[in-house]
Amino acid sequence: MYLSNLKLWDFRKFGSTSDFNIKKPNLDLNFNKGLNVLIGENDTGKSAIIDAIKLVLRTHSYEWLRVTDEDFFQEAERLRIEIQFNDLADDEAKNFTEWLGWTGEGEDAKPFLRLIYDITSQDGKILPSDVHAGVDDEGYQLTAEAREYLKVTYLKPLRDAKAEFVPKKNSRLSQILQGHEAFKGNEESHYLVNLFNHFNLSIEKYFEGKKPKGDGSESFEDIDEDKKGKELKDKIDKFIHELYDKAKNSKFTVSKGKLKNILEKLELSIENEINPGLGTLNRLFMASELLHLGKPDWNGVRLGLIEELEAHLHPQAQMQIVETLQEETNIQLILTTHSPNLASKVKLGNLIICNNNYAFPMGKKYTTLDSTDYSFLERFLDTTKANLFFAKGVIMVEGWAEEILLPAFAKKIGLNLTEKGVSIVNVASTAFLRYSNIFQRQEIPKMNVPVAIITDLDVKPEDESTITIEGKSKKELEIENKKSKYDGQVVKTFVSPQWTLEYCLSKSSSLNSKFQEIVKDIHSRTDWTDFEKSLTEKLDKKRLKKTEIAYQLAHSLEEDSDKENPEIIVSKKDIAIKYLIEAIEYACGN
């Protein structure tokens, strides 16, 4: 069985100011059977999704979980959480027989389990409520026994793995081990109990001045070399006889030889690791939890919730772990992360982008990407490009020059791309569709991340006015084609008014002189008597040092921006670079 769907009404960020409508959940989120990774900028609801699941299912670590006033959306007086499980095996379904629903008919009928947690607040007081299950809107209360099969494993953010491994009463390690087949059902007769009882007897005999014979038998003999333990006990016995009862003697023991007590004394570590760091302990902790999730005799939920998987882990360790988790087939995992490293390593179909108070799965049936796009992106979506999953706005460019220049341009018009949460993604080609369609959905709701595509016209100046068979100029037709190809939903295309970025800079009323100065300095051996002709030749033969020119121009713009009285004024009145300014403003939400 796996958690297939989560619905939320007026829970935390996922709410509405309109009246409560049972037919319209504020979040309707589907999950994959295996790995699910919740990503997105801060405060987009990732933790709210994890907490909603925990509130309904509870955890194996016996955390105290309850609904508080802060869980209600704004002034709402009712919240509701629904969770559905699908693909229940017969051994799993038998635990929930009276609450099951069915899809299909006859031999094709398949069971599902729907859980409901509906909470009301009245006059500032949260009314008691239990988790129900069933196919109707109300359901029937689950028994305590049934709920035991629904508990999940939870690893909190910034977890202190060291504390989890400290031997203590009800330690997490002892809980994991008690549920494993190596210990379960052998509380009285387990081999460890016999070992511990023998050790306990040896302790008791030491204080009586005796030791094991060492011949493999259960017999003891007198200690010749160390009588201090017996001397200590004799002194205690003397006081007991004088102060309490002459017929009573003291007895030293370690503790009761119960398996639970023994397991609570165990400590787990890495062999030959001295004082391991938090990162090492964190991985060891995750390994033990995966052991718990994979126990073979369990007929309940196998679901792990891990917040901020990257906690205390360096990038290479993050990638190693996510590779391992993606290979797990018999358990379901729902993770949250702020790490572009992890986002770039996870298969795109396993990602869920949290944005604008909603969550968007990236599977094939949800986006407008096709199968080849998924294969391409899983190869080329590196750490830098993965920043787009955490952005409030995205600008896609086809080369280094645009990527270098845009932050300086933004600063010139009073916008800071970092402060605005805008990521620049250099696709290093014209494969914009493979990236931009990540943000286009097959069904509503749509995403709300403005995506600006900046692309060159790619029509030489002498060909701009050429009339095509459609009756339009080659320039008009190319702009129309690019926009129709890339535009859609939140994606908007900004095409250079002339051939290339560099050609537009040469025609810019505000940047032409500085651009010429930099180009002449970098290409000092070129005859620049006729600047436009020489520039056209270099662009045509792809010999212009675009990246170096962009670096120097960006540096000049930044220096000029820092002056008390800037000399270079960048505005939309400059027709040659207007498209760049409009793209920046769109991505920034202006």
Q: What whole-number distance in Å separates Cα of residue 586 and Cα of residue 568?
A: 23
Q: What whole-number distance in Å separates Cα of residue 230 and Cα of residue 235?
A: 9
Predicted local confidence at residue 256, as pLDDT: 64
Beta-carbon contacts of residue 185 (< 8 Å; ≥ 6 apart): none
Q: Are the beta carbons of 83 and 287 closer than 8 angstroms? A: no
Total-model pTM:
0.84
Q: Residue-wise pLDDT tens for the chain (590 aa)? A: 999 999 999 999 999 999 999 999 999 999 999 999 999 888 899 999 999 999 999 988 767 789 999 999 998 999 999 999 999 999 999 999 999 999 988 888 999 999 999 999 998 899 989 999 999 999 999 999 999 999 998 888 767 767 766 777 877 777 777 777 777 767 777 878 788 888 888 888 888 888 888 777 778 888 887 788 888 989 998 988 988 888 888 888 876 667 788 777 877 777 777 777 777 777 887 788 777 788 877 899 999 999 988 877 777 888 888 888 888 888 999 999 988 888 888 999 999 999 989 999 999 999 999 989 998 888 888 877 888 899 999 999 999 999 999 999 999 999 999 999 999 999 877 678 888 999 999 999 999 999 999 999 999 999 999 998 888 999 999 999 999 999 999 999 999 999 999 999 999 999 999 999 999 999 999 999 999 999 999 999 999 999 999 999 999 999 998 888 888 988 999 999 999 999 999 999 98
Predicted local confidence at residue 257, as pLDDT: 66
Q: Among all chains, which residue has been given the structure tokens 């935390």?
A: 12
Q: What whole-number distance in Å separates Cα of residue 379 and Cα of residue 68?
A: 44
Burial of 191 (0-12, 13-18, 19+ CB in 10 A): exposed
Q: Are strands 332-336 and 303-306 parallel, antiparallel or unpaired?
A: parallel
SS3 455: strand
Predicted local confidence at residue 35, as pLDDT: 94
Q: What whole-number distance in Å separates Cα of residue 441 and Cα of residue 265?
A: 53
Cross-strand bridge partners of residue 118: 80
Q: What whole-number distance in Å separates Cα of residue 263 and Cα of residue 390?
A: 43
- Output the six-digit token pair for 51: 């907490």
Amino acid, res. 414: G
CATH number of 2-162+278-354: 3.40.50.300
Q: Are the beta carbons of 313 and 287 closer than 8 angstroms? A: no
Beta-carbon contacts of residue 373 (< 8 Å; ≥ 6 apart): 433, 434, 437
What is the CB-side half-sphere exposure of residue 525 using CA atoms within 13 A?
A: 2
Within the chain, all domains assigned CATH 3.40.50.300 are found at 2-162+278-354
Q: Are strands 220-222 and 210-212 parallel, antiparallel or unpaired?
A: antiparallel
CA distances from 526 to 289, 519, 537 (A): 66, 10, 11
Amino acid, res. 516: Q
The DSSP secondary structure of 40-83, one letter per residue, reads -STTSSHHHHHHHHHHHH-BTT-------GGGB-TT-SEEEEEE
Q: Among all chains, which residue has been given the structure tokens 């949290």?
A: 354
